[in-house]
Amino acid sequence: MSAGIGTAEDVAAEAARRRTFAVISHPDAGKSTLTEALALHAQAIEQAGAVHGKAGRRGVRSDWMDMERSRGISITSSVLRFEFGDTLLNLLDTPGHADFSEDTYRVLAAVDGAIMLLDSAKGLEAQTLKLFDVCRHRGIPVITFVNKWDRPGREPLELLDEVEQRIGLHPAPLNWPVGIAGDFRGLIDRADGSYTRFRRTPGGATRAAAERVPADRAAAEEGQAWVTANEELALLEEIGAVLDMEAFAAGSCTPVLFGAALPNFGVSALLDTVRRLAPAPSARTDAAGHARPVTAPFSGQVFKVQAGMDRAHRDRLAFIRVCSGRFERGATLTHAPTGRPLATKYAQTVFGRDRSTLDAAYPGDVIGLPNASGLTVGDTLYTKTPVTFPPIPAFAPEHFMVARVKDNSRAKQFRRGIDQLDSEGVVQVLRSDLRGDQAPVLAAVGPLQFDVFTARMADEFGAPVELSRLDYTTARITDKESAETLDGRRGVEVLTRTLDGSYIAVFVDKWRVRAIEREHPDLTLTPMLAAGVPD
C-alpha cells in the first residue's frame, strides 16, 4: 500500500479522532510546564521532568538546547504526540519569547486549534495579544487556560472582562475556582455543579490527587470561599457567559478553564476539553483557493526544519503536517516546488526530541523526514492529485549582523552551518555584493536569534563566528529593476536571500523608506509580514 491509499471512510474516521493544537503564551506564563502536565495527565510520561529534563532527570526533552535549559525559555518549537482515551493528540509546543515569533507563526500554520495560556496575575500580555491576532487571522479556535491560580493574582471576573474588552472574545468559563488566586481550594464544574478539591504531590512530579466533594460538605468546609464562588457563578448565568459552539468555531467565543500547571491542578479538565471541543482536521485551502478535503490523496506541508536535536542523530529533520489522505512509510511523494520524487523509507514520529519509526499517518499528524534534501519551510508534498498550499511567509527582520568565521581553516564548516541554519529559519541569510559569500548578512526578528545562531555554529558545526552590527532596521521586498535604482543610494542596501535569490532592500529607518518612495513612486518596495502581526 502507498501514501494516499485507504478508503475515504478510514481516512475520515482517523482524522476525526485527531486533535492538533499549539499552546501559546507570553514568556513565563508556564507554557512548557503546562505542555508537560498535559502529557503527564494523558499518561504519555510517568513523571514531570521527563519532557523538559528538570530536576536532573533524564529523558525526552522538548526544551533540548543548552541555551533553553540555562535561560529557562523555549527557543524552538517541538512536537509531542500521545493518545488520550480514543483521541490522538498532536501537541506543538511553541517558543513564547517575541524574538522567536517566526517559529511560532510557522507552528500555527500547522494546527487546528490553540490553548491560550494566561498568567493569573498578569492576564493578557503583549506577546499573547500578538499570537492571538495570528490565531484570529488564521481562523484558529482558542481555548483559554488561566494558569498559576495557586499563586497571588487578580480577580477571575476581572480577567474575563479583560479578555472580552481587549481581544473581543466572549469568555465562557467551563469551571470556576473556589478560593482567590493564591488560596486555590478546588474547581466547580459548571456543567454538573460537581466540586473537585486537589492535593499536591511532592514537587508536582506526578498527577495531583483529586477528590470529589459533595456540595453540602464543601459548603461546610470551604466557608466564605464557597459562598463567593457560587455568587460569581450565579452572576455568570445572569450575563449569559455560556459556551456557543458556533461562535467558538468562528473564533468569537473562548471556553475558559482555571488551574495551576505546576502542581497539576485542573489539567485533566483542560485535557478533556481539548478532546471534546478542539476541532478535528478539516479541508485546507490550497494556493489556488480550493479546499482539499481530508479524504483526498495524501498531501502535506513542511512547517519546520531542525537539525541537532539529539547528538545521537546528527541529521536534519523536516516536520510535515499531514493535510489530507493516508501516509504510509516507504511511499514516494512528489515535491511540489520541483516536481521531484521524495522517498520516505525513514519516516519518523517525534515526541520531544525522541523519535520512533512511523508506519502510517493521517490528517493532523506530524511526520518527521530525516535528511530530506531540498525541503524548506512552506514546501508542499503530495501523491496523485497535484496541490500546492500557500507559502508560510518570512517575517520582516529588524536586526542585521554581518557574520565572519573566526578561524579561516573552518571556512567549509562555516558555510555548511550557514546553509543549515538558514534552511531551518534560525535567521534569514542574505548575500551582499559588497562583502561576498565569506561575510553573509544575518537578518532576525529579535537579537536572541543571533545568540542561538552563534551558539549552534560553535557547538554543532565547530565554526565559532564573530558578528558585527549593521545600522539597518527596516526591510522591503524588491525586484531586480528597482534594485538597480536603489544601488548606491544613501541609507539603503540591496541584498539577495540565499534560499531563493529574491531581492531584499534594507533601510536605516522607515523615514528613509518613505523618502525614497516619494522620490521614486514606481519602485517595488513591498512590506514583509510584521513580527507576530498578520498581513
Residue 201 counted as an annotated binding residue:
no
194 to 66, 163, 185, 211, 257: CA distances (angstroms): 44, 26, 14, 11, 15
Three cell numbers written together for 344 = 520516505
- 97 labelled ligand-binding: yes
End-to-end CA distance of the chain: 41
The pairing of beta strand 284-285 with beta strand 366-370: unpaired
CB 99 within 8 A of CB 450: no
Give Cβ neighbours of residue 152 (< 8 Å, ≥ 6 apart).
Answer: 121, 181, 182
Bridge-based pairing of strands 492-497 and 526-527 is unpaired
Cβ atoms 457, 465 nearer than 8 A: yes
Return the axis-axis angle of helices 411-424 and 448-461, rounded to nearest 10°. 130
Residue 154: all three cell numbers together = 487578580
Is 96 one of the annotated binding-site residues?
Answer: yes
* C-alpha to C-alpha distance for 255 and 246, rounded to whole angstroms: 12
How many angstroms separate the CA atoms of 73 and 95, rounded?
7
Which residues fall within 8 angstroms of residue 178, CB to CB, at 6 or more apart? 184, 185, 186, 187, 188, 195, 218, 222, 225, 226, 229
How many angstroms separate the Cα of 164 from the Cα of each of 85, 168, 252? 33, 5, 10
**Number of other residues whose CB lies within 10 A of the CB of residue 521:** 8
Cα angle vertex 271, ends 268, 275, to 5°?
Answer: 135
Pairing of β 253-258 and β 142-147: parallel
Other CB atoms closer than 10 Å to residue 531's CB: what's the count?
A: 20
CA 383/CA 297 separation, integer angstroms: 6
* CB count in 10 Å sphere of residue 204: 23
Q: What are the DSSP calls for 299-328, one per residue?
A: EEEEEEEEE-SBTTB-SEEEEEEEEES-EE
Q: How many CA atoms lie within 13 A of 531 on its CB side?
A: 21
User: Is residue 94 marked as binding?
Assistant: yes
95 annotated among ligand-binding-site residues: yes
Residue type, 50: A
CA distances from 248 to 109, 277, 450 (A): 19, 9, 39
Helix, strand, coil shares of the chain, percent, nearest 5, are 30, 30, 40
Query: What are the Cα distances from residue 80, in Å, to 60, 190, 287?
Result: 10, 30, 28
List the grid coordinates of 45: 510520561
Q: Which residues are annotated as a binding site?
A: 93-97
Q: Which residues are annotated as a binding site for GTP?
A: 93-97
